[in-house]
Structure 1
Amino acid sequence: MDTSVSELDARLQSATDPKARIDILNELSWVLNLGNPDRSRSLAEQAYELSKSGVFEKEPYLFGIASSLRSLAALNNDAGNYELALSQSLQAVEFLDRTKTRNTEIDENKIDLFGNLSWTYRCFGDFDLATEYGTKGLRLAQETLNLHRETRILNILSVIYAEAENIGVALEMGLKVVQRQRELGYFPGESIALNNLALTYLDMGDGEKALSVCQESIRLAREHHLETVETTALSTLGEIYIGIHDLINAEKTLLDVLTRTRKQRLGSEEFQCVYHLGRVCFQLGKEEDAIQYLQSGLASTQASNDRRGEYLCHQLLTEIFEKKGDFETALKHHKKFHSLKETIFNENMAKRLIGLQVSHQVESAKKDANIQYLKNIELKREIEERKLAQEALAKLAGLDDLTGVLNRREFFNLGEKEIARTIQTDQPLSAILLDLDRFKQINDTYGHAVGDHALIEITRILRESLRQGEIIGRYGGDEFAILLPGSTRGHAKQIAERLLEKLKNQSIPTKKGDVSITASMGIADLAQATKKNLDALLDLADQALYEAKHAGKQQFFIFGEM
């Protein structure tokens, strides 16, 4: 069983060793991810920053980073940020592999990460990969005799089997998990397991049993102050009321859930809630309310690129407008529904591509080491094949094949989605445009190999200086664009100052002597842009960059403060 919160808090207060402090922060974050997700996220972010700063600036604490990403991925799964959760889990697994050690703590982290990945792929609708990662976690838990984590993985697998319509296996697993959690005395796990079991009974058509089991899940969550788990179970209760045709109680319950999900920032639960409210209102004859809920659901799914959710909304809107006699609008939604129906079956491949992209990024150091080894044993043909494969993968995944950051097309693709999300959540967002100084002169004087080296070095420094969720793209030949979601110009200024400081001591050795690398930057934030899109934001940052270049390079300017 995990250590209690009070014990971990006491240990945190007295911890002075940096590694010990990071480990306690991460353990506390993991324990709190169900009961207090806001504090859990804050603790994980603290641990992440500490793991690559201070005494760890030159040699990051990989286990600390991986443990932080484990918690953040789980929290982002709950928030519906599945692409970010996938990225964080895959990176964490890679960092654990790079420690080249095997102990209890690493095994526990890997089990948890395989569980995270299983849940993420389940949310993508890729049951094959979800089952594969769940099985990996289950085997490792059984191999290490970790009953607590084995039970958590079984719970995840029971949901996957239920949604893959293997109800018999799902029910058997679900009952086993509830019994295990009771024996362990782990109330959060028992409440979650009861919630999932209730959904399985609903799928079997046993509404009465589903209602009874779900109410027990809610009672446990309330008794132990598990707000997030309670919200999830109440959402399930709303679905059960729909299933047994108690629409009045369904609407009442789902309205309560909607308030809770918005307060707790549970993006995936919020969409499910507004979608089901749309269903209920339609069945109650309140078409205008149903349309309003479904349009809200569409905005949410489009911002998060949830094609399955968008598909469901258009399908139901088609039925509603047909009933209203508005056949023109019904046809419009039907066309969108039909278009999504054609593409939704390819969604699994798109989600696997995200995995390839992330795997490519985190594997780059390992691949470089392998290439050096192959050089040493003179297997040149294999080296070239690997290089070609890596370049092909980079292009496929939307990465720049030299630096490994997003290429311009993919940066704009992800950037526009981030701006849509920022507008929807009313959060700040800033951008930095960075341009290497005298890059043409470096190429002309020292050759393109040195120029390429400079570009690789600058991207390394950028990655080390940014937080998870901040986006880097190669904007032009020697120009990079950075998006900082949730950050004001003040935070962007701090990053620019940090970059200038790091670049002061950066140089590249050549036969003609060391070459120093400097850069100029322009900063702007979305609030300053007249049009709230990526082009308008980057145009402002570009104006500030021009002023920085014009003023003598190796500095930054902020738009509006020039």
Structure 2
Amino acid sequence: MKENDLKSLQGKVTSLRAEGKYKETIEACYDLLKRGEESNDYKSILVAHLNSAASYYCIGDIEEAFRCITAYDEVCREYGDETDHLNRHNVLFLLYEYNKDFTKAKSTLDKTIALGTRLQKYNIVSNAYSNYSHLYLAEENFEDALEMGRKGLEAAKLHCPPSVILELRVKLNIAQAYIGLRDFEASRRLIDEIGEQPILDSDSYIRERVQFHMLQGSWFSHQGFYREAFEWLSRAKDLVNRYDDIYLLEEIQRERCRLCEQIGDFKTGFYVQKEYISVLLESRKRELERTALQLEVKHSLADLKKKANTDHVTGLPNRHRLESTANQWLKEAADRYENIVCIVVDIDHFKCINDQYGHLFGDEVIRDVTEACASVLRGDDLIGRYGGDEFVAILRGVTLDVGVRKAEQMLEAIRNLSIHCGDTPVSITASMGVADNREGEVLGFNDLFRRADVELYKSKQSGRNRVSVGSQLDGQQVQI
């Protein structure tokens, strides 16, 4: 595949994820991964694994997300640059945070901060410190949360060009840490400073505005001003409805219910409780939808994998699956000194059959021949279409003599086929070549296939409709 085509597919994957089309992203990543592996384009492989991991995270399939990031890690360690490693740390943090594994999440943030500092990517360093601060807030460790927030603010100030929103996000955590430490004067000063930022009026940063309103509510609530806190949380609720974050809305409604109890306003509390129940029901509905999406993605990928590995005419494994499976078997055979036999089958005069009877009939012949060959093989033998009218069978744990007998049986089964084009009987024969891996000496499919293909050529040169095998004992060709 051309380099420009791969870059185009990388861009498609990134765009789909940015648009929140996670099922389509995962499917496109599968295509990018396959093409990247075929072209030995490691950047494409990394992009595919990384975007798959992020997409699985977004649909809640954390197990698959970890599997993708593990695959990413293996490629990244050998072929990735420092930016690729930084991306790996960022995704790992999300996964660990989701699983509430704060120890591993912090360890990942340490690596992000160290690498980001070395690369002078201060926006990433600032976000890492901000995430660190957020974890400490969740643990109610407000002193460490404050320290990490201050470091995040220092990193944000080093970012070029200056970023107001980067600094604001860190300040939200710093102010919350001050509230936790009950330093209401320092938190008030910072809250007022944040509130003066014009960027909060932008529709691009509604989530930050929601967090600011929740911060105001927290400031009042911690001092016992529950009615003022309720008003700020109500404003946050109205804002969050604009961008449909059901999980943040659930948090806000839970706090509003608590504040109603503190105020003693049971009438308002009744309506807030009803709203909260509606949010919970919607939240559970979303969870069910995410579960359904996970299943849909799994089935879709299973279909894609099947199509990618299956010949559409015969339903047998295609060349790609033949090669990958045989390579794995040969690798295992080398460790165990196990014998593997390869039989290459080619239908005699198949071009003439296509020319005389048409390609549809030719496809029928191909299906009948492969069924005849498969009928004499063992259940754990592998047979697939290599291309055109050529097929390959791979037999594990058998001697060369046994492989030759199987080839003879396949040849006889093909000779006995009763195929008609209309009322016209059509005689079908095939030529075959047989070779083995010499009990582990042959390590790759291409080498093994080449040996069998040489024997196939000898069969054709000797008149077709026969089996040819190179004898290991005397080096002489044997024809049957």
TM-score normalized by the length of structure 2: 0.53
Q: 1:116 aligns with which of 54, 66, 91?
A: 54
Q: CA deviation at 1:349?
A: 4.0
| Aligned counterpart for 2:135 among listed residues 190, 197, 200 | 200
Shift in Å, 1:313: 1.7
Query: Which residue is 2:84 aligned to?
Result: 149
Cα deviation, 1:274-333, whole Å, max 9, x if unaligned, reads: 333333333345555534433343344445443222211221111222233321221222
**Which of 252, 260, 264 is 1:325 aligned to?**
264
Residue in structure 2 matching 1:191, options 112, 126, 142: 126
Amino acid of the residue matched to residue 8 of structure 2?
A: G
For the aligned residue pairs, the C-alpha RMSD in angstroms reads 4.0
Q: Is 1:165 aligned to 2:103, yes or no?
A: no
Q: Gaps (5+ residues) in structure 2?
A: 318-480
Tell me the alpha carbon deviations over residues 405-447 of structure 1, each in whole angstroms, 9 at most, x when there is no partner.
xxxxxxxxxxxxxxxxxxxxxxxxxxxxxxxxxxxxxxxxxxx
Question: 2:428: which partner in 1?
Answer: none
Given the alignment of the two structures, is residue 280 of structure 1 paired with residue 219 of structure 2, yes or no? yes
Contact 1:111 1:137 in 2 (8 A): yes
Q: Distance in 2 between matches of 1:63 and 1:356?
A: 29
Distance 1:361 1:149 in 2: 28
What SS is found at the alignment partner of 1:245? coil
Q: Which of these residues, 21, 32, 40, is aligned with residue 102 of structure 1?
A: 40
* Number of equivalences: 310
CA distance in 1 between partners of 2:271 and 2:34 (Å): 51
Match of 1:415 in 2: none
Counterpart residue number, 1:220: 155
SS at match of 1:155: helix
Q: What CA distance in whole angstroms lies between the structure 2 residues aligned with 1:305 and 1:139?
A: 37
**Mapped partners of 1:85, 1:237: distance in 2:** 34
Question: Larger radius of gyration, structure 1 or 2?
Answer: 2
**Structure 2 residue 167 is the aligned partner of structure 1 residue 230:** yes
- State how far apart, in whole Å, the 2-side matches of 1:107 and 1:348 are: 30
1:246 aligns with 183
Contact 1:197/1:213 (8 A) holds in 2: yes
- Residue 232 of structure 2 corresponds to which residue in structure 1? 293
Preserved CA contact (<8 Å) 1:308 1:344:
yes
Deviation at 1:103, TM superposition (A): 0.5
Deviations for 1:182-241, whole angstroms, at most 9, x for unmatched residues?
Answer: 333332322222222222333444322322222121222222224443333223223323
Matched, 1:306 2:245: yes
1:159 to 1:377, Cα distance in 2 relative to 1, 3 A: closer
Q: Distance in 2 between matches of 1:335 and 1:195?
A: 35
The alignment-based identity, stated in percent, is: 16
Alignment of 1:67 with 2:11, yes or no, is yes
Partner residue, 2:115:
180
What are the ranges of 5 or more consecutive residues in structure 1 without an aligned counterpart?
1-18, 24-60, 77-83, 380-562
Mapped to 1, the partners of 2:310 and 2:97 lie a distance apart of: 47
Equivalences for residues 319-468 of structure 1 within 5 A:
319-338=258-277, 340-341=279-280, 344=283, 347-355=286-294, 366=304, 373-374=311-312, 376-377=314-315
What does 1:53-64 correspond to in 2, within 5 Å? 61=5, 63-64=7-8
- In the alignment, the residues of structure 1 paired with residue 251 and residue 245 of structure 2 have an alpha-carbon distance, to the nearest angstrom, of 10
Where does structure 1 differ by over 6 angstroms across 4 or more consecutive aligned residues? 358-364
Letter in 2 for 1:104: Y
- Do the aligned residues in 2 keep the contact of 1:234 with 1:253 (CA within 8 Å)? yes
Q: Select 1:271's aligned residue among 192, 210, 213.
A: 210
Q: Does 1:209 align with 2:144?
A: yes
Describe the superposition over 1:446-484 as per-residue Cα deviations: whole angstroms up to 9, x where unpaired: xxxxxxxxxxxxxxxxxxxxxxxxxxxxxxxxxxxxxxx
Q: Aligned to 2:39, what secondary structure does the other structure show?
A: coil
TM-score by length of 1: 0.46
Q: Deviations over 1:240-284 (max 9, x none)?
A: 233323345445545627853543713444433333333333334
CA distances 1:90-139 after superposition (whole Å, capped 9, x unpaired):
35414414645330330342254145336635xx6x65555444444334
